[in-house]
Chain A
């Protein structure tokens, strides 16, 4: 079972649950099972640009991202990209 950890805002959207245990072969398969999947993926099914995913502490964007294979007990951590400070967009 892979473990998926969500940041606070996504956990709030998932009814307060921040930790999920899921059967999944890849990162994409795990993320698409989440009740907040439509916040992670846009209408084309693409992972939103400013969402980072770490698998066992390694940035999956530097690897195969959604196709990154998961081991039993892999830890998948969803993190918003470091992108603050632009006044009109985020701050």
Chain B
């Protein structure tokens, strides 16, 4: 069993194939040249490769490949009805669901569902017409629905800058889950909605445990988002960042890559630093062996991935870094790619 990393860039999708226990990597691509690939993922159900693709001229869509990038099908029906008064600005994240479900997050703060492997997409009306929508606002990357998590029958989405939401009924209703999550850029610092979540992950082995890297801090919840604890005062050089990764077997482990601040979107303290907690965020330690100690890099929200065997992230300066589980030693798997927008990992 090897590892495949679909690496989305501003100029197409690259596929990195790990060999020798991921000690070496072969770079293939670009496929989908000309498309900005905000996210790409291999569906574990059938091996299909999906890409959330955007182009300056030709708009936002989704591509599917059933042969790992050799040939592609493009979505036939994807958009917002005219009566919504909204237009689809970008596709951000593809997430496999249960049975035939496939979910897609997009800008402006919208969620779509497909039951035909991405050919046609139906907008989630409950989120589109959410009563709090008038209090949402776009972040610097647009009003993107970028995090979609399904664990133990519960669904979570996060939107920048609308906050996080939970659904117990497959997306029929959405409850804001932003209590005690700061929105320092708002007149009211702890509103019901409007928080700028940068990435939200639910731990696959402990239902109810959520992590988020927010514009204003790093947080953990142990009760499905009803309450959040802020975690960035104990060893992190900054509360700001985008990428977030977990350990699939240990719910107390998480990784972040802090950035200097919202004004300076590069890594904190002039180094490329991954920080690890092994105690649920009580403390954080630098896990940067092998990473450059003088660097002003940036890792975007979809740019950090993990699986059973390792950790993987890509930078805006076109490098892909990988480590075995634990983050003990990093090696550069690829360099000089176009600016990297997303990294995922899949067994092949």
Residues of A within 8 A of B88 (CB): 42-43
* Residue among B33, B56, B78 making CB contact with A90, cutoff 8 Å: B56
Contact of B57 among A38, A43, A44, A50 (CB under 8 A): A50
Q: Tell me if B56 and A43 are in contact (CB < 8 A).
A: no
A38-B81 Cα distance, complex, nearest whole Å: 14
Determine if B34 and A9 form an interchain contact, defined as CB atoms under 8 angstroms apart.
yes
Question: Given the complex, which residues of B lie within 8 Å of A42, measured CB to CB?
Answer: 59, 79, 87-88
Q: Is B80 an interface residue (CB 8 A)?
A: yes
> Are B79 and A10 interface neighbours, CB within 8 A?
no
Bound CA–CA A51/B56 (angstroms): 10
B-side contacts of A89, CB under 8 Å: 56
Q: Given A9-B34, A13-B74, A38-B76 in contact, is the A44-B87 Cβ separation under 8 Å?
A: yes
Interface size class of A (residues with CB under 8 A): 10 to 19
Q: How distant is the Cα of A71 from the Cα of B75 in the complex, in angstroms?
A: 32
Quick one: given A42-B79, A43-B79, A43-B80, are A50 and B87 in contact (CB under 8 Å)?
no
B267 contacts partner chain A, Cβ-Cβ < 8 Å: no
A44 touches B82 (CB 8 A): yes
Contact yes or no, A48 B59, CB < 8 A: yes
Residues of the A chain whose Cβ atoms lie less than 8 Å from the Cβ of B80: 43
Bound-state Cα–Cα, A83 to B58, Å: 13
A58 at the A/B interface (Cβ < 8 Å)? no
Interface-central residue, A38, A39, A44, A48, by most chain B CB under 10 Å: A38
Q: Known contacts being A42-B87, A43-B80, is A51 close to B57, with CB within 8 Å?
A: yes
B79 to A, closest residue via Cβ: A43
Identity of the chain B residue whose Cβ is nearest the Cβ of A8 in the assembled complex: B34
Point out the residues of chain B lying under 8 angstroms from A38, CB to CB. Answer: 61, 74-78
A40 within 8 A of B: yes
B57, B76, B77: the one within 8 Å of A80 (CB) = B57
Contacts of B76 in A (CB 8 A): 38
With A13-B74, A44-B82 as known contacts, state yes or no: A39 contacts B34, CB within 8 Å.
no
Q: Is the CB of B79 within 8 A of A81?
A: no
Q: Is the CB of B56 within 8 A of A83?
A: yes
The answer on a CB contact under 8 Å between B58 and A43 is no
Taking CB atoms, residues of chain B closer than 8 Å to A13 are: 74
**Chain A residues in 8 Å Cβ range of B78:** 38, 43
Residues of B contacting A40 in the complex (Cβ-Cβ under 8 angstroms)? 58
Residues of B within 8 A of A50 (CB): 56-57
Q: Which residues of A contact B59 (CB under 8 A)?
A: 39, 42, 48
In the complex with contacts A50-B57, A80-B57, A43-B34 CB distance below 8 A: no
Residues of A within 8 A of B56 (CB): 50, 80, 83, 89-90
Interface residues of A in 9-30 (CB under 8 A from B): 9-10, 12-13
Q: Is the CB of A10 within 8 A of B58?
A: yes
Complex alpha-carbon distance, A34 and B45, angstroms:
33
Q: List 17 A-B contacts (CB under 8 A).
A: A9-B55, A9-B58, A12-B33, A12-B34, A38-B61, A38-B75, A40-B58, A42-B59, A42-B79, A43-B78, A43-B79, A43-B80, A48-B58, A80-B57, A81-B57, A83-B56, A89-B56
* B-to-A contact residues, CB < 8 Å: 33-34, 55-59, 61, 74-82, 87-88
Given A39-B55, A48-B59, list of 5 further CB < 8 A pairs?
A9-B34, A43-B81, A50-B57, A51-B57, A83-B56
